[in-house]
Amino acid sequence: MNATREQPEPTVTDLETAADQAIAACGGDAREAVKALIVANDFLETQLDGLRTKVSTGYARGRLPGTREQRGDPDD
């Protein structure tokens, strides 16, 4: 089983639909939609950082950027 799966590139239509949904969710205010997306992105980055600290370097086999630096392992 391949641990790194390729994600298909979103199409222009997918991006347009997602943008329209984000703006609609914020009452039609594009500025509020951008702020909400920034907050959501920060939340996801925080979760990812937490998961990176919990995954062993051996298990990740160097697939997680920054894992060595976060654990304080010496460079090769």
Domain of 48 in residue numbering reads as 29-54
**Owner of token pair 């298990």:** 59
In a domain, 41, yes or no: yes
Structural domains of the chain, count: 1
39 closest CA partner among 25, 55, 53, 54: 25
- Work out the end-to-end distance of the chain between its first and last CA atoms, rounded to an integer number of angstroms: 28
Task: Note the pLDDT tens digit of each residue in 27-50.
Answer: 999 999 999 999 999 999 999 988
- Residue 73 maps to a domain: no
Whether 43 is in a domain gets the answer yes
Quick one: how far is CA 62 from the chain centroid?
A: 18
Per-residue pLDDT at 67? 46
The reply to whether 50 falls in a domain is: yes
> Would residue 35 count as lying in a domain?
yes
CB burial class (10 A; 0-12, 13-18, 19+) of residue 57? middle
Residue 54 has pLDDT above 90, yes or no: no
Instruction: Report the C-alpha gap between 25 and 28 in whole angstroms.
Output: 7
* 47 belongs to a structural domain: yes
